[in-house]
Structure 1
């Protein structure tokens, strides 16, 4: 009886150790572009919310850079504090790139545990932003029925600089998103910008090649489509009773699912020589 109990305990211990060991494996890159492409839809969702609510972007930083420059001339005249929100987004994005890249290198950029942690962190940050919107703590992001006759009034919210908090949270995690896409080697899908994707897509000499002969072209095209789809979904959710917070919750859910998926991802087999 005692022997059976000991054997059972040993089996559980072995399984636990085996699972922890698998988490230390590097992921195989087969189909690893799918989670990265899914991130493009999250970028579209969150940018649609940020632009509707605060006239800034949280993933695409080129527009923010221009708005920051225009702010030195007092443009736009009806939004004198726009440059502050742009700077908050840009600085948070920079910080996100810095922090997530350090964590990635420290834990191993391709490790299952590392990728899971980084995406769960990103999802959690969007979750906090969504909660701030849902509770009207950041009322600019708490609007519903946007663009309709039933739209929540935002009169007087233009000067609510607390909106910088959800902007910073979203931009920070998008810095981490692009770091991960680069770490996985999918440079053709930066996930947070489309200008370079458009250039690479339409200047590709093999743009008309059959579907199975140009994988990078396929990824670029999918990135554009998914970003647009994310923006469309985000826009329609904002026009609903769920409002902006519903769009952010969706983005949060996608990131958390990706994070959990990395835990179950197939790991690279370690050769006997390396062992």
Structure 2
């Protein structure tokens, strides 16, 4: 979510948010990794970017980075990514939380996740699905609700359909992620699942019917 990271980096100059003095550094790490990822994944334009093999390799790479992140979280190398059974009513030791977030491995996971996420949005542009931003919904809401054919039949407005599905899936994923945090799976479970989904997509490209 690089919009939020840009804002956190900006307000970090004023020492905000209060009690989260290191958040600007994590935001900077995420931004730099995302920028680097955009340059890397966009270089596929030199290697037939719409070929099934190219698309599959890209998603396999994204999945691999997610699996590495999940492993780092699962083994508690990055404690802030290994929280489990979170109780909304419980209080957390702020000093311990700060120590967990300042762990070097947290920065590594943030960098890996930001780098791989750039591949997803670069490919959405390469394939021409600009109506699905893949990671933010502000513009998606605007485009959806200002669509003159918002209530057209399903077959008559494919872009509207994609936007609606994108909103539903993003919200559903958020709900699932929240409940995973309250379970024994925790954040590592969410990362394993996300990596598995990307692996399925990578395999699907190999058998996708070409134009």
Aligned to 2:185: 242
* Runs of 4+ residues over 4 Å off in structure 1: 148-154
Q: 1:201 to 1:120 in 2, by over 3 A?
A: same
Q: Match of 1:70?
A: 11
The whole-number CA distance in structure 1 between the counterparts of 2:203 and 2:156 is 31
* 1:126 aligned partner: 66
CA positional deviation for 1:159: 2.6
Query: Residue 56 of structure 2 contacts residue 203 of structure 2 at CA under 8 Å; is this kept in 1?
Result: yes
Residues 18-48 of structure 1: CA deviation (Å, up to 9, x unaligned): xxxxxxxxxxxxxxxxxxxxxxxxxxxxxxx
Conserved 8 A contact 1:145-1:152: no
* Structure 1 match to 2:107: 164
Change (3 A) 1:224 1:247: same
Aligned match of 1:142: 82
Q: 2:170 aligns with which of 203, 207, 227?
A: 227
Aligned to 1:61: 2
Distance 1:152 1:111, change over 3 A: farther
Q: Kindly tell me the number of residue pairs found equivalent between the two proteins.
A: 208
Structure-2-length-normalised TM-score: 0.94
| 1:203 aligned partner | 146
Unaligned residue ranges in structure 2 (runs of 5+): none
Q: CA RMSD in A?
A: 1.6
- Report the CA distance shift for 1:150/1:130 in structure 2 as closer, same or farther (over 3 A): farther
User: Contact 1:68 / 1:83 at 8 angstroms: preserved in 2?
Assistant: yes
In the TM superposition, what are the counterparts of 1:1-275 in structure 2 within 5 Å? Answer: 60-102=1-43, 104-147=44-87, 154-155=96-97, 156-268=99-211
TM-score normalised by the chain length of structure 1: 0.72
Displacement, 1:238?
A: 1.1
Q: Answer yes or no: is the 8 Å Cα contact 1:93–1:175 preserved in 2.
A: yes
